[in-house]
A and B are shown apart, each in its own frame.
Chain A
């Protein structure tokens, strides 16, 4: 069985002593930073990215993936104990999780969140493994034409399924594409938009851009709002959920996992969609929906499972086709490129050790989360007590040193400063920065494949419709764009993404 061979190869990579250590390190650091309110997974990964450059490619990816789901898990802890969602995906956990904490059941809520995450993580690992093989076979048929269409599909789908205005997100993708063009043109050697700055000849580093847009811009905007935070302070008594709690939570976990696994694969669906949908589903299925919002355990178990399953299956497009589904995966792609690996449809056949190692490590990492986090809950609670007035100067400093460290260049620090100002502007005018990052990372590949495809077809644009795979991909794009124009779908999408209260 190919599947078992692959998983075995993955496990042998993931269980190598140093990779195991990196996974543990990633999970712990990720949780620690994720617990801190106000920093979601994207800035966390961007902040820690420079640390992984010296590692082997599988080691780096394993650690980054660990940081990612660790941060997401940490965000749930904060959501339950402080009622502050670190990011969109834990907004739903706040509703019933914090209510449970106020009723003195913080321990149960945390334990259920951890169990749900682990259960979802285990199932999602298998889902990834099963889906990867056929996708990678398909991917081998790809030429520049199909890859271009796939990139377009990835970008458009990420825009359509994410929250926020579609028109604004499309504009942000274009803005990102434009930034991605900066640098020396590979085919002609002409400098494009470098303004004579030598540091720009290799193109914009995406880490300073991400840190500025997502980290610092967000911090400035946060500081404008007077923050009020109350940690549920009574000691967390029992971490072991009762039999009745488990019986109530388990079906929700299963449904959440299924929902999350499906929605996670869709580009852009990685973060917000699964937990919201799962919460809505649980509320609909419940015998007494009025319990929701007042500490219903299903309202924690379902969304937490969906959240984690979605986070993991959002790696599928990245690991099989080499396209990122959301801004976070774009960071991962960037990390791969910095490791000298060209992401693309061939990634699975060319880097089996890396791909399967990362997949297997996700299960290992989730097990670690379960084992370490519950006993360490006291430590995380004490981290929550670090006041924001001390936290944010520390983040500013580490962002500065981190961006500097990527290429030992002060230019990157200035670039981050500029992006922070622009990120603040984006928050003020109500635009999501995530599509910009996708455009920036995918831009060069999009252009390269477009040019190659056009060169082969001698300038005939219809080539994208003549080849079947490409035509299907573009057909999906067209359907999605048309669907966005339909008023009923717009309304439903709004309803699905709106915060359930």
Chain B
């Protein structure tokens, strides 16, 4: 494993925490804080995000001062294909119906790996779509349309 002079894992996690804490402090700035005996809605968010901010600073500082394992390279193919499949499901499920959406979702997710063979994936997607329709619409009565409206 290659090592870099900066612990990128610590540094990135620290930055992430600080961003979340800062975002929370901004988002909850208008809530009443109150005091310990009579806490307002903003009391806990403020306490927790300040603690997170401290953790974020700690990890950033530690990350910059010591060496750490390198982060494995991000591969776009699986990332985009899986997230894309979920996104497409969210966009189409209520419009196109479960039958079509299932096929599309499975085929898209299949692109995440180079091992996939399109014909095999398509056949499998049709099979899964059928199974999903039977299970979720017929057996479990999920109120999602079967076909496009």
- Which A residues are closer than 8 A to B by beta carbons? 51, 54, 167-168, 170-171, 174-175, 177-178, 181, 185, 187-188, 190, 192-193, 195, 216, 219-220, 223-224, 387-390, 392-394, 396-401, 404-405, 408, 410, 413-414, 416-417, 420-421, 424-425, 428-431, 447, 450-451, 454-455, 457-459, 461
Range class of the B interface residue count = 35 or more
User: Per-residue 0/1 for B60-88: is the Cβ within 8 Å of any A Cβ (1 yes, 0 no)?
Assistant: 00000000010110110111001101110
Query: What A residues does B36 contact at CB under 8 A?
Result: 454, 459, 461
Query: What B residues does A420 contact at CB under 8 A?
Result: 82-83, 86
Contact A447 B110 (CB under 8 A): no
Contact of B120 among A193, A390, A461 (CB under 8 A): A390
Contact of B124 among A175, A390, A398, A413 (CB under 8 A): A390
**A414 to B89 alpha-carbon distance, docked (Å):** 9
Contact B86 A417 (CB under 8 A): yes
* Chain A contact residues, majority secondary structure: helix
Q: A389-B116, A413-B93 are in contact. Are A396 and B105 (CB under 8 A)?
A: yes
Which A-chain residue is minimally distant from B139 (CB atoms)?
A51
Contact A195 B20 (CB under 8 A): no
**A457 to B42 alpha-carbon distance, docked (Å):** 20
Contact A417 B45 (CB under 8 A): no
**A271 to B125 alpha-carbon distance, docked (Å):** 35
Contact B136 A405 (CB under 8 A): yes
Q: A178-B52, A390-B121, A397-B106 are in contact. Are A424 and B79 (CB under 8 A)?
A: yes
Contact A177 B48 (CB under 8 A): yes
Query: What B residues does A405 contact at CB under 8 A?
Result: 136, 140, 142
Query: What A residues does B75 contact at CB under 8 A?
Result: 223-224
Q: A193-B28, A394-B128, A421-B83 are in contact. Are A178 and B121 (CB under 8 A)?
A: no
Q: A167-B58, A168-B13, A459-B36 are in contact. Are A417 and B83 (CB under 8 A)?
A: yes
Query: What A residues does B82 contact at CB under 8 A?
Result: 216, 219-220, 223, 392, 396, 420
Which B-chain residue is minimally distant from A424 (CB atoms)?
B79
Query: What A residues does B94 contact at CB under 8 A?
Result: 410
